[in-house]
């Protein structure tokens, strides 16, 4: 339970808690030690007083062997310089060697309780002085000092001096109360102070957390670059920064790798598919072989699409700049339509409306954008359905509409379909990788445009792309990408006129 509370607490609270616990324990230990030392000092002062008084009395008794005369004994107590015994808390008792009381300064006080232990008796009889703490019947504790009076090597009397320990104890009690009260006040102050100190101490750490939170996978160029933080936090921030640098390097390598591999794959795959398609042109092919070759051609098409998408994705991540030129969207749309017809002959594909629109942009990316939308429409529309493409010219904008009569997209999937690798439930068999829309979205955005979608279950979906005819953020041509040369473009997409498009990558 305690452990679970502890693990649920923030570091700040934990530090304050530890601070309070350690502070409390330290005070407790200090209290115990100070109490013991004070007690020892007070008792030893008292012992010294008792000893001095007993020795003075013994000296008087020894004078002229007065200890054998009861009158002398009585008068010794009266004359004792410690005297004024009536007012003093110190009691003196003179006993014979067999411990019979000869005289006492305590007057009418019952001295029956002031008994020395058996062991003490033996030690006194042997000529030793003995200190003992005894408890009286009323519960009070007193200190009793027994001093043997020795004359010619013989114990001739015993002088006992005694004083109540009440003063010592009440002083210690008062001290304890004051100490506990002081400790409580100190703890009440120390709690918030500890919290404030922890807060101040952890503030730089908070800064690290805040900045680290702002850094996303797509933003690995950022660094904490913390200066002047406490040494431990500075070390943490520096380690975090160098970890980010390593991560950035690893991500870059991964992106370059994906770009290289997908590019390398795409070329032989395109050649392979071309060869298969040439074989398919032979009218004498046995039907079984034709069927197999068609399947191979379709699979090649799927792999080409996948590697194209991967390549675009890697380029997006690498931040490859646009290759901006005038692009005729009407030509581009016709090419896409032509490609899409190869995809699925059982779906009707038509151009619903076509204005002549030229935009400034990157032909490859724009083509991939429209291609991905149309391919999706064809892919998800069941045989007998219709996919239509429309291109509209509006005030300063081009609008491309891709409509299908497919199954529609469930409402809960709509907010996610543009995310990378997101695939709506049950769509795995359609053979995509969840990249098409992410790339289309990225392509639209890099041109200052946007994609919206409307979909009704079991009726169909409509994807609308709006592209500015002169995108404000897109740099003016002529401009060549700093990235891979033009030949590295993932698709042989619509080339701006007058250089008409070469055969687009087969899809
Ligand atoms: P995928 O490779 O799976 O097609 P996309 O990013 O192109 O990946 O699409 C993401 C998801 O959006 C798809 O898995 C599919 O569920 C849904 N989707 C996209 N276009 C359509 C469409 N025209 N009709 C129905 N669902 C679609």
- Using a pLDDT cut of 90, give the percent of the chain over it: 35
* Element containing residue 156 per DSSP (H, E): strand 154-164
Cα dihedral sign, 388-376-361-303 = negative
pLDDT-derived band of residue 360, with 50, 70 and 90 as boundaries? very high
Q: Is the CB of 310 under 6 A from ligand 1?
A: no
Which residue's CA is minimally distant from atom 26 of ligand 1? 409
Give residue 206's pLDDT.
82
Tell the burial category of 425 from Cβ atoms under 10 Å away from its Cβ (0-12, 13-18, 19+). Answer: exposed
- Strands 101-104 vs 154-164: parallel, antiparallel or unpaired: unpaired
What is the pLDDT at residue 431?
59
Structure confidence at residue 387 (pLDDT):
95
> 60 pLDDT band (50/70/90 cuts)?
confident
The single-letter DSSP state of residue 475 is P
Each residue's pLDDT tens digit, 158-178:
999 999 888 888 888 998 898
Residue of 53, 107, 48, 50 whose CA lies nearest to 79? 53
Burial 26-51 (b: 16+ CB within 10 A, else e): ebeeebeeeeeeebeebeeebeebbe
More confident residue, 79 or 457: 457
Contacts for 397 with CB less than 8 Å, ≥ 6 apart: 466, 467, 468, 469
CA distance 151 to 59: 11
What's the pLDDT band for 204 if we cut at 50, 70, 90? Answer: confident
The pLDDT, as a whole number, for residue 214 is 80
Residue 337's pLDDT is 92
- Top mutation candidate among 310, 375, 432 for ligand 1, by most atoms within 8 Å of CB: 432
Distance (Å, whole) CA 421 – CA 435? 5
Q: Confirm whether pTM is higher than 0.85.
A: no
Contact 259, 318 (CB under 8 A): yes
**The two structure tokens encoding residue 167:** 């003063």
- As a whole number of angstroms, the distance between CA 382 and CA 346 comes to 8
Cβ–Cβ < 8 Å for 39, 45: no
User: What number does the ligand 1 atom closest to the CA of 418 have?
Assistant: 6
What is the distance between the alpha carbons of residues 362 and 446, in angstroms, rounded to a whole number? 9
Output the pLDDT for position 326. 94
Cis peptide upstream of residue 299 (ω within 30 degrees of 0): no
Kindly give the distance from the C-alpha atom of residue 348 to the centroid of ligand 1, in angstroms, as a whole number.
19
Give the tens place of pLDDT for each residue, 386-411: 999 999 999 999 999 999 999 999 99
Q: Please compute the mean of the pLDDT values over residues 330-347 and round it to a whole number.
A: 88
Residue 445: pLDDT above 80? yes
pLDDT in tens, 254-304: 888 888 888 888 889 999 999 999 999 999 999 999 999 999 998 898 888
CA–centroid distance, 423 to ligand 1, in Å, is 6
Spatial contact of 69 and 96, defined as CB atoms under 8 Å apart = no
Q: Which residue has the higher pLDDT, 106 or 37?
A: 37
Nearest residue by C-alpha to atom 19 in ligand 1: 376
Q: Is 376 in the pocket of ligand 1 (CB under 6 A)?
A: yes
Q: Kindly report the average pLDDT of the chain as a whole number.
A: 82
- CA distances from residue 75 to 60, 67, 93, 475 in whole angstroms, order as listed: 10, 11, 13, 123
Q: 26 CB contacts (<8 Å, ≥6 apart)?
A: none
Say which DSSP state 381 is in: S
434 lines ligand 1 (CB under 6 A): yes
Question: Which residue is associated with the tokens 């493409």?
Answer: 389
Per-residue burial over 310-343, b if 16 or more Cβ lie within 10 Å, else e, is bbbbbbbbeebebbbbebbbbbbbbbbbebbbeb
Q: How many C-beta atoms surround the C-beta of residue 423 within 10 A?
A: 16
Residue range 485-498: average pLDDT?
A: 35
Cβ count within 10 A of residue 436 = 24
């Amino acid at each position: 339970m305690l452990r679970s509370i502890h693990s649920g607490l923030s570091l700040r609270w934990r530090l304050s808690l530890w601070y309070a616990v350690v502070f409390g324990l330290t005070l407790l230990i200090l209290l115990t030690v100070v109490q013991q030392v004070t007690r020892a000092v007070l008792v030893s002062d008292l012992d010294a007083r008792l000893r001095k008084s007993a020795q003075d009395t013994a000296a008087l008794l020894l004078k002229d062997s007065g200890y054998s005369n009861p009158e002398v004994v009585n008068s010794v107590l009266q004359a004792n310089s410690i005297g004024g015994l009536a007012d003093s808390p110190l009691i003196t008792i003179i006993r014979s060697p067999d411990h019979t009381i000869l005289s006492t300064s305590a007057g009418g006080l019952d001295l029956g309780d002031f008994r020395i232990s058996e062991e003490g008796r033996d030690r006194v009889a042997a000529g030793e002085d003995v200190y003992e703490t005894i408890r009286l019947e009323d519960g009070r504790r007193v200190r009793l000092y027994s001093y043997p009076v020795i004359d010619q090597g013989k114990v001739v009397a015993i002088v006992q001096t005694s004083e109540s320990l009440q003063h010592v104890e009440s002083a210690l009690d008062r001290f304890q109360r004051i100490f506990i009260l002081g400790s409580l006040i100190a703890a009440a102050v120390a709690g918030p102070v500890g919290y404030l100190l922890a807060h101040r101490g952890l503030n730089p750490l908070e800064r690290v957390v805040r900045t680290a939170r702002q850094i996303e996978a797509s933003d690995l160029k950022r660094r904490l670059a913390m200066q002047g933080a406490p040494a431990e936090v500075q070390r943490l921030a520096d380690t975090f920064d160098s970890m980010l640098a390593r991560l950035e390097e690893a991500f870059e390598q991964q992106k370059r790798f994906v770009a290289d591999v997908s590019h390398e794959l795409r070329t032989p795959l395109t050649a392979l598919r071309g060869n298969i398609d040439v074989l398919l042109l032979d009218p004498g092919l046995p039907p079984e072989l034709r069927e197999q070759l068609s399947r191979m051609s379709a699979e090649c098409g799927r792999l080409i699409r996948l590697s194209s998408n991967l390549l675009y994705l890697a380029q997006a991540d690498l931040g490859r700049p646009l290759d901006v030129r005038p692009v005729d969207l009407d030509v581009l749309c016709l090419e896409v339509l032509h490609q899409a017809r190869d995809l699925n002959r059982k779906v009707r594909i038509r151009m619903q409306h076509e204005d002549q629109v030229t935009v400034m942009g990157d032909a490859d990316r724009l083509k991939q954008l429209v291609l991905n939308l149309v391919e999706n429409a064809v892919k998800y529309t069941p045989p007998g359905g219709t996919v239509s493409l429309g291109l509209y010219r509006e005030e300063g904008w081009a609008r491309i509409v891709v409509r299908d009569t497919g199954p529609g997209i469930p409402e809960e999937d709509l907010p996610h379909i543009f995310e990378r690798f997101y695939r709506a439930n049950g769509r795995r068999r359609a053979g995509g990788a969840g990249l098409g829309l992410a790339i289309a979205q990225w392509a639209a955005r890099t041109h200052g445009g946007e994609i919206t979608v409307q979909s009704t279950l079991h009726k169909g979906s409509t994807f609308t792309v709006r592209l500015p005819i002169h995108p404000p953020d897109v740099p003016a041509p002529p401009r060549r990408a700093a990235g891979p040369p033009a030949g590295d473009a993932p698709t042989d997409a619509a080339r701006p006129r007058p250089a008409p498009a070469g055969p687009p990558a087969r899809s």
